[in-house]
Amino acid sequence: MTFGDVTLFPNGFRVLSGDTILYELAKMLNPDRCVFAMDVDGVYEWNSRVIIQELTPSKIRRTQILPGDDASGGMKSKLEIAAKIAALGCEVCFVSGYRRNEFAKALKGMDFYGTLVRG
């Protein structure tokens, strides 16, 4: 489990995203699957409440996504990092951390309610 935090850099302080940490870990550890537990059920279609069930890195690159307003770049940054992780051969799951059964399914590689990114 990772999460972002403020860290010291040569020019002062900045936010280091937990998503960036996950990407670096995925490069080193080569896992089969990475799971993003979020406060929403997955990645939604533009301007709707419909979950996109599956994405690929190329589809993510072609999709226009608003950057979001959190310190680490919001959903746009998450999807860009998910595309990089998926390109390593790792499945990436976006699932609600509030839905314990769905979260457990995603961790186990089972079908889950959310979004799956595959390379």
pLDDT in tens, 6-47: 888 888 888 888 899 999 999 999 999 999 999 999 998 888
- In this predicted structure, the answer to whether residue 2 has a pLDDT above a threshold of 80 is no
Q: Is 67 exposed, middle or buried (0-12, 13-18, 19+ CB in 10 A)?
A: exposed
Q: For the whole model, what pTM was predicted?
A: 0.86
The pLDDT tens digits for 74-98 are 788 899 999 999 999 999 999 999 9
CATH of domain 31-117: 3.40.1160.10
HEC string of 29-60 equals HCCCEEEEEECCCCCECCCCCCECCEECHHHH
- In this predicted structure, the answer to whether residue 115 has a pLDDT above a threshold of 90 is yes
